[in-house]
Amino acid sequence: MANSHWLSSRLVKKQAAARKLAKGKKKQALVYTWNENKQSRANLSYKKRTRYMQNKEAFPKKKLPTKEIKTLIEMGIIDERGFFKKGKKKNYITHSMTDAKGFDYYGMPRK
């Protein structure tokens, strides 16, 4: 019965030894640290992913020095139309990706 699948005896013995070793071990569960895609999960180990999230949460958030629009324009943080000069091309006045006239950062019309 041990050799009913036409394998050589040395392979059958190796398979039996492997089953014997694996008998006491439990399968490791997949652990997700946050919403992630397959590619980023494949590139990073669990330790790196958890360290990345810990560092991200510990890093201080960027805060504007004031909420007054005129002061922010004078400081050079936003331009005359209300778009941030550095970082994301978002409008501070309208809180969207377009200005009051419906144009984006580059002056192109958007819906």
User: What are the pLDDT digits (tens) for 37-90?
Assistant: 666 666 667 777 788 888 888 888 888 999 999 999 999 999 999 999 988 899
Is residue 28 assigned to a domain?
A: yes
Instruction: Quote the domain boundaries for residue 16.
Output: 9-58
- Residue 3 forms part of a structural domain: no
41, 82: one domain? no
Give the number of domains in the chain.
Answer: 2
Q: Which of 39, 58, 77 is the last residue of a domain?
A: 58
- Could you tell me if 110 and 68 lie in one domain? yes
Among the listed residues 69, 27, 25, 28, the one whose alpha carbon sits nearest the alpha carbon of residue 45: 28
Q: What distance in Å separates the CA atoms of residue 13 and residue 2, rounded to the nearest whole number?
A: 9
50 plus 71 within the same structural domain: no
Shared-domain flag, residues 69 and 54: no
Per residue in 86-110, pLDDT tens?
A: 888 999 999 999 999 999 999 999 8
